[in-house]
Amino acid sequence: MPGIYCMFLAGWSAMGALMERSMNTDLPYFPFQHRNDSLAPECQRLQETQPIARVRMDTLEAWLITGYSLAKQALTDDRLSLSLVSRPETPKLPAPGIPIEALASMDALGRAGLRKAFTSLLTPAHVARAEPRARDIARSLLDRMAGSPQPLDLYGHYAQAFPLALSGHLLGMPLEELQPLAEATETALSLEPRRPIEYQRNWESTRDYFVALLERPDLPDGVARRFRDENAARPAEDRLDAASLADKLVMVFGSSHLGSASMLSLSFVTLLHRRDVWEELRRDPSRTEGVVEECLRFGLFLPAGLPRVAREDLDLGGVTISAGELVLIAADVANRDPAAYPDPGRFDPGRETKGHLAFGLGPAFCPGSALARMTMKVAIEELVRRFPAMRLAVPPDRVTWRDDLIEVRPVEIPVRW
């Protein structure tokens, strides 16, 4: 899911935006927790008492928005800029495995004249044509799971494997070459202390793969070939060199499956914990779209919030935000605001979910929303159809979550059927 993942990476890079004030250690420390299957009490408290509040993160401060109404205002206020977040001159806390110039991948695609080559494959019409292939991929993975010992890790075998294989199809990459690349992407997203040379070699080897991929004469239609062809059609002085073009594909590869893997894993934990919803889906698959939308509203997918930097001084929610200050829009928390959704902590597939902010809002609305919805719909429908008796093999509170990666996901999802 490209937009969600790119927004998350932008959020990580924005964490280092310079705040010209001394650190107030009395402020609440953000983010509040690593688990993503429950809302942190601090989020609820701030939403009720200070829907826009100062928070601290290591050596900097920011404004955190948790209220739904304020989040909508912030997402559509052009005085709060996403593009400023990715400016090279903005000081940043590093994502150590990703070169700083590659972090703002969607902006970089626009500057390189390649954004259309990417987004043309994300239109609802193109996504609809890809759905039969997505179902074939899902069924093949589930058939393979059926013969595996139990308990089985649903994350590795399906929540990650399905969007990864679908991503390979959309990019035009051979299925058998995807897993090593996924492992390299995870290394790039690691927060573990490693020698800089290790991160550099990991990125360079991944880039080298895409350089070689772009040279293949039999490259099938997909993002990779369209990047190559559209880049070659530009005036010579405007073309990207092979390494720069490959860098963009590395980021597109990561953005096209990691966001969906995170959303699927959390959605599966949510659904497997709610037997009544699972049984309703088993009896009536037509309810899946409603379940997907409630998963999107209910899910806590973006722990760092959506970043913006103030272009100028402005007033919002009764506070003054100074030019250059960082604003984090906690869209996930805003989707749990009782002012927008009654009893928001209850998972209810029958509720009206219109207006949820899982894909952002306004000019930065996620371009991959149609693909994300299709991926989730197919993944859930096919899983329930193939394994109607599936259940978690551990209590929900025993599912452990990674705290050493930029992305959000469980360590594993042990299941039986």
pLDDT per position as a tens digit, 9-22:
444 444 444 444 45
CB atoms within 10 A of CB 35: 17
Quote the tokens at residue 118.
């990417």
Average pLDDT of the residues in 379-387: 98
Rounded Cα gap, residues 290 and 354, in angstroms? 11
Of 404 and 218, the structure prediction assigns the larger pLDDT to 218
DSSP 384: H
Residue ranges making up the domain that contains 54? 2-416
Rounded Cα gap, residues 295 and 267, in angstroms? 6
Question: In terms of Cα–Cα distance, which of 65, 109, 36 is closest to 361?
Answer: 65
Which amino acid is located at 73 in the chain? Q
> What are the distances in angstroms from CA 8 to CA 143, 202, 211, 272, 308?
33, 21, 26, 26, 12
Which amino acid is located at 269 in the chain? V
Convert the pLDDT of each residue in 139-151 to its tens digit: 999 999 999 999 9
With beta carbons less than 8 A apart as the criterion, state whether 169 and 130 touch. Answer: yes
- Angle made by CA atoms 298, 407, 29, in degrees to the nearest 5: 75
CATH number at 352 reads 1.10.630.10
User: With 60 as the cut, is the pLDDT of residue 301 above it?
Assistant: yes
CB atoms within 10 A of CB 18: 14
**H/E stretch holding 319:** strand 319-321
Which percentage of the chain shows pLDDT scores above 90? 59
Statement: the pTM of the whole predicted model exceeds 0.85? yes
Query: Within 13 A of 91's CA, how many CA atoms are on the CB side?
Result: 10
Q: How many domains does the chain have?
A: 1
* SS3 state of residue 236: helix
Q: What is the mean pLDDT of the chain?
A: 87
Average pLDDT of the residues in 6-11: 48
Average pLDDT of the residues in 71-75: 97
Q: Which residues contact 212 (CB under 8 A, 6 or more apart)?
A: none
Rounded Cα gap, residues 264 and 362, in angstroms? 24
User: With 90 as the cut, is the pLDDT of residue 68 above it?
Assistant: yes
End-to-end CA distance of the chain: 28
With beta carbons less than 8 A apart as the criterion, state whether 206 and 180 touch. Answer: no
